[in-house]
Structure 1
Amino acid sequence: MTQAQGAKTNAKTRPSTLPATPPAAKAGGRRIQVRRSGVHGKGVFAVAPIAKGEIIIEYKGEVISWPEALRRHPHDPKDPNHTFYFELETGDAIDAKVGGNAARWINHACKPNCEADEINGRVFIKALRSLKPGEELFYDYGLSIDAPYTAKLKKEYECRCGAKNCRGTMLSPKR
């Protein structure tokens, strides 16, 4: 497994406290919009107020095994560290390149305003604080790689969030 292929995005796993499809997740398209981001490429922006704790959107895509994700890697050979994979607690992954929605365009930030919660094998993006129209949505990707975090590796997963205490990388801190 190469370093690029080893990156996995992680969500917090929680017991189910939501209906099969939360009402807020169904309405996501009317409250958010994908457009050009000042941070990186495309981003997702609030177009209506979003309350703290509100589920904004479900991260959708094809659920595949991690070996299948590695087989499909990279999505773009010119940018091999950019994928739409989201690792699930089961070890499977959501590939948002296939059947994905606007959630795949939410950018990383070291001081995010959203978080990703896994509930019964599904991933929901939830507001950590109240969001105003025009604000870009961010969550901490918390990428994990088994390889040592070298300066070169951190640069490959460079963070562009601009937060005051930016880690400089989308990789999660080693524990």
Structure 2
Amino acid sequence: MPSFDIVSELDIQEIDNAVNQARKEVDGRYDFKGSKSEIGWDKDKKEITLNAEDDYKIEQMGSILQTKLHRRGVDIKAVKFDKVEPAGGKMLRQKVTLQQGIDREVAKEIIKVIKDSKLKVQPQIADDKLKVSGKSIDDLQECIALVRGGSFAVPLQFNNMRS
């Protein structure tokens, strides 16, 4: 029985490259000269930290980071900016979390869209991805087109197509 997976994955290497490019731009910009602004990147937690002295610099660093991520092909839906919080020593901090995997609510929403379409496919939740199986590859391709056309809270990719 043909099947495929719906996943939400990020290319960590591209994120690493984007963070390094953003750091270089912040270091070279005139309005950041002499400031203690920095961009931290924790690969294990998949979290980026923006540290700066004022709201303007935090906002500019966030904008630079978003631009670099977008240019490297990282979907901005996967990037979640938390509130700016005081970090001590007249500094401000903003955490940027990277969302990977499909959580239960989004998975249920995708399943509802698929079932409402009356396509002859069976979606099921498997950990942080969805497995969709059907009798014909044409039905699966229609399902992919349907899900691509929808707007969901996370970026979606389709892989492991088996016939």
Question: Which category describes the TM-score, using the shorter chain as reference length?
Answer: under 0.3
Hey, which of these two has a bigger chunk of helix by percent?
Answer: 2
* TM-score normalised by structure 1 residue count: 0.26
* TM-score normalised by structure 2 residue count: 0.27
**Higher RCO structure (Cα 8 Å, ≥6 apart):** 2
Hey, which of these two has a bigger chunk of strand by percent?
Answer: 2
